[in-house]
Amino acid sequence: MEQPSRRNVLMTGGVLGALGALSVATPAQARPLWTWSPKGSVVGAGKGVDPRWVWDEEADPLVASLIDRGDVPKVNMLLKTWTKNGQALPAGLPADLKAFIEKARQLPSWADQTKLATAYKFNQKRGTYLGVSYGFASGMMSTVIPHEARAVYYSKGGADMRDRITKTAKLGYDIGTRNAFLPDGEMIVTCVKTRLAHAGVRHLLPQSPYWTKVADEQIPISQADMMVTWHSLPTTVMKQLTRWKVPIPADESAAFLHSWQLTAHMLGILDEYIPGSWDEANSQAAQVLDPVLAPTTEGVKLADILLHLGVTIDGGILTTHILGALTRYMLGDEICGWLQIPREPVWDPVFEAFWPTFVAIKEGLLKITDAPPGLLQVYWAFDEIIRLGTLLFLSGGNLPISIQIPTANNPN
């Protein structure tokens, strides 16, 4: 398989997906009590401990130790060569890390390759909608998830959002590939490296004078935070597709969920917190995601950076307006108000009026011949706009993307 490079990751819409996990609320104390039952999880059982107080007991002490003993630069360099799920680990890794990765790279017993093959079919068929929803629903939503927004803003990645998006894009790209979880694919590697990166953030952020001043938690990226961000991805995306009346066969819908359940597991989320069905996912999201959405200074700044990433292409003349309007269409007026995204007199009505028709045509629900005059041009313009989102980030050449364990916070 072709080595995913910055360019091809971005070309396939991964970047849009990437915005989705940019990393996540009203103060923790405002969160309701954890009442979601592990009976609804992918394994149907669990201890039922409130996930706000659970992190990653295997990865966290290990990565803290790697950072403290100065091993991370060497480890990051060695792990650059580990790209395929089935590939042997490079020689020279510290023994404790090697043992951790060998365990963490194993798929759980409930992984179902038949469902994953169906998920690939779904990703291929619905790539456009998935890309745009990951980017402008999930991605922009991450800026109104206070824990995530602050973690991203004050961690190392916050200093270079373009690089951060590009790296996160890799996950959005890998999950949609044919062989995502097969030995010649890369999703397992991406998830395990991300798990290590998150463990690094858990160790480093509490040392940031900026983060500690504003944070309402002592250690970031709890299992609850992970689930919040997870819901900003598949659960939110599926809501958008349903809102647009995209017909989705039951097996494809279940398969898409399965690929994200597996992703959650490989990222170190405990099985007892991973919803076993869409109904369970929606009920958990209502408990953990919806109540925490809120503006923060950091989130407003991140959203502004994201909306202006196209400045290098067109000076922001068109891109910023289009991205703002897309965000409003996806997330609505309230969130755009929080993020101080201005109304777009030209583009807001365009998305409002034409997106449903665009979807309908794409789905073959409307015959092209029935389309009002000019609609075809608008249809193609939409596809172009979506591609533009990916083009924003193409300026960086073809370097392979490697997710790394951070060694520092954002210095600013």
- The contact set with ligand HEM (CB under 6 A) reads 21, 23-24, 147-148, 151-152, 155-157, 164, 167-168, 171, 194, 197-198, 201, 220-221, 225-226, 229-230, 267, 403-404, 406
What is the secondary structure of 314-370 as a DSSP string?
HTTTTHHHHHHHHHHHHHHHHHHHHTTPPP-TTHHHHHHHHHHHHHHHHTTSS-GGG
CB 359, min distance to ligand HEM, A: 26
CB 346, min distance to ligand HEM, A: 34
Distances in Å between the Cα of 223 and the Cα atoms of 45, 134, 168, 242 are: 16, 21, 19, 27
Nearer to ligand HEM, 217 or 252 (CB): 217
Nearer to ligand HEM, 391 or 408 (CB): 408
What is the secondary structure of 142-188 as a DSSP string?
GGGSHHHHHHHHHBGGGG-HHHHHHHHHHHHHHTTSTTTTSTT-SHH
| CA–CA gap between residue 198 and residue 195 (Å, rounded) | 5
Nearer to ligand HEM, 74 or 245 (CB): 74
Neighbours of 344 (CB within 10 A): 21
Centroid of chain to Cα 158? 15
Amino acid present at 189 = V
Nearer to ligand HEM, 211 or 351 (CB): 211
Nearer to ligand HEM, 9 or 21 (CB): 21
Tokens of 98: 């090697």
CB 41, min distance to ligand HEM, A: 15
CB 216, min distance to ligand HEM, A: 12
Tokens of 25: 């609320």
CB 22, min distance to ligand HEM, A: 8
CB 175, min distance to ligand HEM, A: 9
Q: 100, 79 in Cβ contact below 8 A?
A: no
Nearer to ligand HEM, 141 or 361 (CB): 141
CB 151, min distance to ligand HEM, A: 4
Residue 114: its H or E element:
helix 113-125
Tokens of 82: 């580990």
CB 145, min distance to ligand HEM, A: 7
Nearer to ligand HEM, 16 or 361 (CB): 16
**β partners of residue 155:** 409
Tokens of 91: 């020689």
Nearer to ligand HEM, 194 or 319 (CB): 194
